[in-house]
Amino acid sequence: MEWVNAVLQGTLLGGLYALFAAGLSLIFGVMRLVNIAHGDLIVLAAYLALSITAGFGLHPLLALLLVVPAMGLLGYALQRGLINFTMGGDILPPLLVTFGLSVIIQNGLLMGYTADPQKLQAGALETASLTLLGLTAGVLPLLTFALAVAVIGALQWMFYRTAMGRAFRATSDRQDVALLMGLNRAHVFGLAMALSLAVTAIAGVLLGIRTGFDPAGGGARLIFGFEAVIIGGLGNLWGTLAGGVILGIAQAIGGQIHPGLQILAGHLVFLAVLAVRPRGLFPKMEG
Amino acid sequence: MAEPLLAIDRLDVFHGDFQALYGVEAEIAAGEMVAVIGANGAGKTTLLSALAGLLPRPAAAIRWQGSPIGALRADRVARLGIALVPEGRLLFPSLTIEENLIIGGRMGRRGPWGLEAVYRLFPILRERRAFAPAQLSGGQQQMAAIGRALMANPALILIDEISLGLAPVVVRQLYEVLPAIVGEGMAAIVVEQDTSRALSVSRRFYCLQEGRVALAGASGSVTREAIGRAYFGV
Amino acid sequence: MDVTRASRLTRLAGIAGLLLVVLLALAPWWAGRADLRLLGEVFLYMALATLWNLLAGYAGLVSVGQQAYVGLGGYLLFALTILAGLPVPLALPLVLAAGAVVAVPVALLIFRLRGAYFAIGSWVIAEVFRLVAAQVAALGGGSGASLPPAVVRTLAEGRDLREAMAYWLAFGLATAVLAAAVAILRSRHGLALTAIRDNELAAKSLGIDIWRTKLLVYVAVGALTALAGALIFLQKLRISPDAAFAVNDWTAFVIFIVVIGGIGTLEGPILGTLVFFALRETMADLGTIYLIALGAVAIAVMLKAPQGLWGLIRARTGAELFPLSRKVTGIPSGS
């Protein structure tokens, strides 16, 4: 029973990882960009929520109403003001610039909030749980998973059913021909990053309620998100959710075997997938 | 004399260090169909790419209804009403045929062309509208590429190598619809290696040779010999 | 007519370099203890930067996981001396060899990822190493371990000599890495690397075995980075998983150094290291502001002068200190 429980908890944890990953997956799909600062932006969103909840006495989930648009705006500004200037064929400039951003965000947070771990206070939500068939699941992990499914479903719908999604796919396919359609590449990329960071905001707030955060925690979140994307297969949003779930289950089972194995087991599953299926389990796109 | 729709004045275009066009002069009036002919590598595709804004070019070398547009990015040029049907069709592979058409019309310029009109022009596209471009034959892809450009209701359509790699029967079919397109008041510049076909549909022509205009004139009155000389430079 | 790599400047730089090497080798006699440690640290960073530059600037392998090898080297040094009882001078060559042995399977795995995904994949490897290190109870698990005085004494008796030895090792490594980089770049493999960097497809069509050349560079860089890691923690005398496998200390700053100095040149990382330490020593009082400034400078250089400071200098003066690029000389005038 405790193994079944571990799988359940791992699956729900996978929802959080899918939220870490969805934004990465989106910007990779649209502009082939890997944002090294992605994890630090998740942590930044959590701190933003912290200040908002403290300042206005809002519940962290209500703070999302402010954090999501704020992060979206930041994403658009970052892309138009900085990252767009690195988008050539060479991989080093975007990597270096987002690495620089990562260091700047980490140290900026360190100055603003000190190195002490913080947590978002969500009251009864943190401890509430549901029991069914002898299995107990926290309401927060369930909510996180439901949000992950909703976010990925919405992104999928946006990508395949809306004008913005068409613009994203067209720009991803052929940037110069997309220009001929009157699509301003810089603006399209800005929108993609805005959307990516809007999702990041949700991930950051849920992370902040669930486990707490500190300025140095971005790297691990980037890596979990990245692993979920690769396990699921590049360019496949539902695959990213599956990748997150697989990662979550691997960690939960690893942790069940030995607490020190939790994170390691996730990495090992990732490396095993890489060794056997380098394009991920459900690939859709050329890397 | 009235201002032409598009005027090209001493246009030099470079690919990196290599100069591809030398002082090209040309113009086109509204509703006119002009052919650009020339051998492989004469600079025909370069000319269209430069007009569409895909290549760097001198700001003042291209004027649209009197205003210089040489400094505009390609998406700005497109918004003016200049649409390019690129060489090799270059449909968006992850969009369906219908989505390829819709995205062509996203700028919302008013005019006779819409999904229905394009489907009437090329009925096969209606049947294949939910297909991916790769599932269509070359000729059908070319129809979709032309349809995508028409969807923008451009004032000027630039068509690059319409017949390249297509079966003769398909080429004939495509050329049959060209007059109908220009009949709607749209101007067209058609780049073509098949000289006689290009001359037969156009009113005027420009013949490029090694990046320069070697000959220009009315399509109906030019002799085969004159074309041959301008084409090969002999 | 003659094809040569040397110019008057490279020959002058050679003579000046030789004098500098002698002067720096004598540093234990003219530098104070604190300065000597700082110099040692400078040389270790210079080695790390040169190695990363070989990897990314020449072989096109943009890794953000070189902390894997720094940490591996550090932990291996501690394991070989504390657990296996080896003296430090014997442990160091073993660290070098072990670094190479570990790098091969790692390369087989992460070479499957391309571009930026290779970068993060290499980071995952470093995380795996860190988590494994944290499980080694004999070396203090997550909280780490110190090098016992008995082990330290196997390097040299007496504190002054020990400090000098640690310095010489750091200085020796930096010189050796630079010499190895020059040797690699002047060899057949160096030509292949330059070809790969300039155009991978063209290189392939010339029959260059890109994969093997990259593997060779990756393994050599991994081994030498592990040795650098061993020397870093020999100087620090204390190791912990978080310090040994820190992405910021051993990769982010190293990348910033290379980019600020000039990627794809041998002079760049040296210049970048000097800039890095100059910034650090003058702005250390400002705390984290200095790190924010470092990140901002690296971003600015990448956007405004992607060839780095050395690229700017070279563009102005045509200077080149290492005899790498070939020049045809002695062409009779008028021909």
- B140-186 pLDDT, tens per residue? 999 999 999 999 999 999 999 888 878 888 888 888 888 888 777 89
Q: Which chain B residues are within 8 Å of A181, Cβ to Cβ?
A: 75, 78, 103-104, 106-107, 148, 152
Q: Does A176 touch chain B (CB under 8 A)?
A: yes
CB-closest option in A163, A174, A179 to B75: A179
Q: Which chain B residues are within 8 Å of A237, Cβ to Cβ?
A: none
Residue B43 contacts residue B193 (beta carbons within 8 Å): no
- In a domain, residue B41? The reply is yes
Q: How many domains does chain B divide into? A: 1
- Interface contact flag, B75 A183, Cβ < 8 Å: yes
Mean pLDDT of C328-332: 48
Q: How many domains does chain A divide into? A: 1
Greater confidence (A162 vs A89) lies with A162
Q: Does A227 touch chain C (CB under 8 A)?
A: yes
Q: Which chain A residues are within 8 Å of C296, Cβ to Cβ?
A: 100, 104
Which residues make beta-bridge pairs with C174? none
Q: Which residue of C has its CA nearest to A85?
A: C303
Q: What is the pLDDT of residue C316?
A: 82
Which residues make beta-bridge pairs with B24? B11
Q: How many residues does chain C have?
A: 335
Q: CB-based contacts of A11: which residues, under 8 Å, 6+ apart? A: A145, A245, A248, A249
- The CA distance from B55 to B21, in Å, is 11
Q: Which chain C residues are within 8 Å of A268, Cβ to Cβ?
A: 128
Q: Judge whether residue C81 has pLDDT over 70.
A: yes
User: Rounded to the nearest 5°, which phi and psi values hold at C268?
Assistant: -55, -55
Q: What is the pLDDT of residue A159?
A: 93
- Interface contact flag, B95 A170, Cβ < 8 Å: yes
Q: Does C121 touch chain A (CB under 8 A)?
A: yes
Highest mean pLDDT among A5-19, A272-286, C25-39: A5-19
- Interface contact flag, B103 A170, Cβ < 8 Å: yes
For chains B and C, tell me whether 3 or more CB atom pairs sit within 8 A of each other. Answer: no
Domain that holds residue A204: 22-214
Q: What is the pLDDT of residue A2?
A: 81
End-to-end CA distance of chain A: 40
Pairing of strands B204-209, B33-38: parallel
* Secondary structure of residue C187 in the 3-state scheme: coil
- The CA distance from A158 to A161, in Å, is 6
Mean pLDDT of A128-156: 90
- The CA distance from B38 to B52, in Å, is 19
Name the band, by pLDDT with cuts 50, 70 and 90, for residue C335.
Answer: very low
Q: Is C24 exposed, middle or buried (0-12, 13-18, 19+ CB in 10 A)?
A: middle
Residue B124 contacts residue B140 (beta carbons within 8 Å): yes
- The CA distance from A31 to A34, in Å, is 9
Mutate to test the interface with B, among A32, A159, A164, A177 (most CBs of B within 10 A): A177
Q: Which chain A residues are within 8 Å of B79, Cβ to Cβ?
A: 182
Name the band, by pLDDT with cuts 50, 70 and 90, for residue C328.
Answer: very low
- The CA distance from C197 to B201, in Å, is 49
As a whole number, the mean pLDDT across chain B is 90
Q: Element (H or E) spanning C131, and its range?
A: helix C115-135
Mean pLDDT of C101-115: 90
Chains that touch B (3 or more CB pairs under 8 A): A
Shortest Cα distance from C73 to chain A (angstroms)?
Answer: 20
Tokens in use for A1?
């029973």
- In a domain, residue A51? The reply is yes
Over pLDDT 70: what percentage of chain C? 90
- Interface contact flag, A166 B78, Cβ < 8 Å: no
Q: How many CB pairs under 8 A join A and C?
A: 126
Greater confidence (A14 vs B227) lies with A14
CB-closest option in B53, B73, B106 to A181: B106
- In a domain, residue B146? The reply is yes
- Interface contact flag, A101 C295, Cβ < 8 Å: yes
Q: Judge whether residue C139 has pLDDT over 70.
A: yes
Q: Specify the range with the lowest mean pLDDT, choosing from A195-209, A252-266, C202-216.
A: C202-216
As a whole number, the mean pLDDT across chain A is 92
As a whole number, the mean pLDDT across chain C is 86
CB-closest option in C113, C119, C288 to A107: C288
Chains that touch C (3 or more CB pairs under 8 A): A
Helices (H), chain A: 2-31, 38-56, 60-81, 92-113, 139-161, 163-173, 175-180, 185-210, 218-232, 237-257, 262-276
Highest mean pLDDT among A191-205, A270-284, B203-217, C155-169: A191-205
Mean pLDDT of C242-258: 93
Q: What is the pLDDT of residues C262-288, one digit of tens each?
A: 998 889 999 999 999 988 888 877 778
Q: What is the pLDDT of residue A46?
A: 96
Q: How many CB pairs under 8 A join A and B?
A: 61
Q: What is the pLDDT of residue C2?
A: 55
Q: Judge whether residue A166 has pLDDT over 90.
A: yes
Q: Specify the range with the lowest mean pLDDT, choosing from A140-144, A277-281, C53-57.
A: A277-281
Domain that holds residue B39: 6-232
DSSP secondary structure of C193-260: HHHHHH-HHHHHHTT--HHHHHHHHHHHHHHHHHHHHHHHHHHH-EE-HHHHT-HIIIIIHHHHHHHH
Q: CB-based contacts of C150: which residues, under 8 Å, 6+ apart? A: none
Going by C-alpha positions, the residue among A266, A280, A275 that lies closest to residue A229 is A280
**Within a 10 A sphere around the Cβ of A56, how many other Cβ atoms?**
11
Mean pLDDT of B50-65: 93
* Secondary structure of residue A8 in the 3-state scheme: helix
Mean pLDDT of B76-97: 94
Q: Which chain A residues are within 8 Å of C62, Cβ to Cβ?
A: 91-92, 95
Q: How many residues does chain A have?
A: 287
- In a domain, residue A48? The reply is yes
Q: How many residues does chain B have?
A: 234
- In a domain, residue B1? The reply is no
Q: Judge whether residue C334 has pLDDT over 50.
A: no
Which CATH number does the domain housing residue B199 bear? 3.40.50.300
